[in-house]
């Protein structure tokens, strides 16, 4: 296990990474809530795969160079990291904002490094009939109501947080606004490009997500050449936290099914 080490993609862009396990490479990309939102998922997948879990530059106090102002730049940086390590047969798993990064990576992956995708309640595309909720406009209670199937269980009153934790969350949101605030949480051209992505894409969606609805997820899945949507009951925007067993069971099958090495394939 290699927790919290750095790897330089460019001279001014060191990536902070955690790695564990052995086997097929799995790149796990967190959403706006930070790496803690995918920690349990990474722990599970590391039992059967080699997980690589970066902290997006600018989150949790990590360095973000001034030129990195969009999701496209982040997607290209992660692709370069995979290429520099001579990795192949990579499954990319992305939650929320991380799912958007994963989709942007897939449309740019001319080398065929990525052989499978899992997008969990991802943002990133514009679906006219299902607009993305403006997360920046929500207060803490509103964010919980939109994000969780059981908001009372997961609501955190910011007034009760230590000052350091509150500052961390505010800095993360400021970074997310820089990278994804204009246009808000989407690439206007991405939806039309997804049909060029040939690798199997599994889209997992919490039934109760009100940030991006299951209908939004269905349109997202339909845009891929080989996309499938699975709706997870009693879960919101982060089903890997509210329904971890149901979520990881679906990912485990996709991990085996999409490997070009056909190790344990079904």
List the pLDDT tens digit at each of the 266 positions of the chain.
555 889 999 999 999 999 999 999 999 999 999 999 999 999 999 999 999 999 999 999 999 999 999 999 999 999 999 999 999 999 999 999 999 999 999 999 999 999 999 999 999 999 999 999 999 999 999 999 999 999 999 999 999 999 999 999 999 999 999 999 999 999 999 999 999 999 999 999 999 999 999 999 999 999 999 999 999 999 999 999 999 999 999 999 999 999 987 544 33
| DSSP symbol at 132 | P
pLDDT of residue 25: 98
Can you give the pLDDT at residue 261?
A: 77
pLDDT at 3: 56
What Å distances lie between residue 224 and 47, 56, 190, 191, 196, CA to CA? 29, 25, 11, 8, 7
Q: How would you classify the pairing of strands 201-206 and 114-120?
A: parallel
- Smallest CA-to-CA distance from 9 within 42, 41, 56 is with 56
Note the pLDDT of residue 264: 41
State pTM to two decimals.
Answer: 0.96
Between β-strands 90-95 and 50-55, what pairing exists: parallel, antiparallel or unpaired? unpaired
Q: Map out the domains of the chain with their CATH numbers.
A: 2-258 (3.40.50.1820)
- Strand, helix or coil for residue 120: strand
Distance CA 169, CA 225 (A): 37
pLDDT of residue 2: 59
The DSSP line for 251-266 is HHHHHHHH-TT-TT--
Say what angle helices 71-84 and 97-108 make with each other, to 10 degrees.
60
């Amino acid at each position: 296990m290699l927790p919290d080490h750095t790897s330089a993609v460019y001279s001014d862009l060191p990536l902070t990474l955690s790695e564990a396990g052995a086997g097929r490479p799995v790149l796990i990309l967190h959403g706006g809530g930070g790496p803690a939102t995918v920690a349990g998922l990474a722990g599970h997948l590391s039992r059967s795969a080699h997980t690589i879990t970066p902290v997006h530059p600018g989150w949790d106090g990590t360095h973000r160079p001034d030129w990195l102002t969009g999701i496209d730049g982040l997607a290209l940086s992660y692709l370069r990291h995979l290429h520099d390590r001579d990795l192949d047969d990579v499954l990319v798993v992305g939650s929320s904002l991380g799912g958007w990064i994963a989709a942007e990576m897939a449309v740019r992956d001319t080398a065929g490094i990525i052989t499978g995708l899992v997008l969990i309640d991802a943002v990133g595309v514009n679906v006219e009939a299902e607009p993305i909720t403006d997360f920046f406009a929500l207060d803490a209670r509103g964010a919980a109501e939109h994000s969780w199937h059981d908001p009372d269980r997961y609501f955190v009153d910011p007034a009760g947080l230590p000052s350091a934790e509150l500052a961390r969350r505010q800095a993360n949101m400021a970074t997310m606004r820089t990278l994804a605030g204009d246009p808000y949480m989407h690439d206007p051209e991405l939806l039309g490009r997804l049909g060029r992505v040939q690798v199997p894409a599994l889209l997992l969606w919490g039934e109760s997500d009100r940030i991006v609805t299951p209908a939004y997820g269905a349109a997202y899945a339909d845009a891929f050449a080989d996309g499938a949507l699975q709706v997870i009951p009693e879960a919101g925007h982060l089903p890997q936290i509210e329904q971890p067993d149901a979520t990881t069971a679906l990912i485990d099958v996709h991990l085996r099914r999409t490997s070009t090495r056909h190790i344990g394939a079904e």
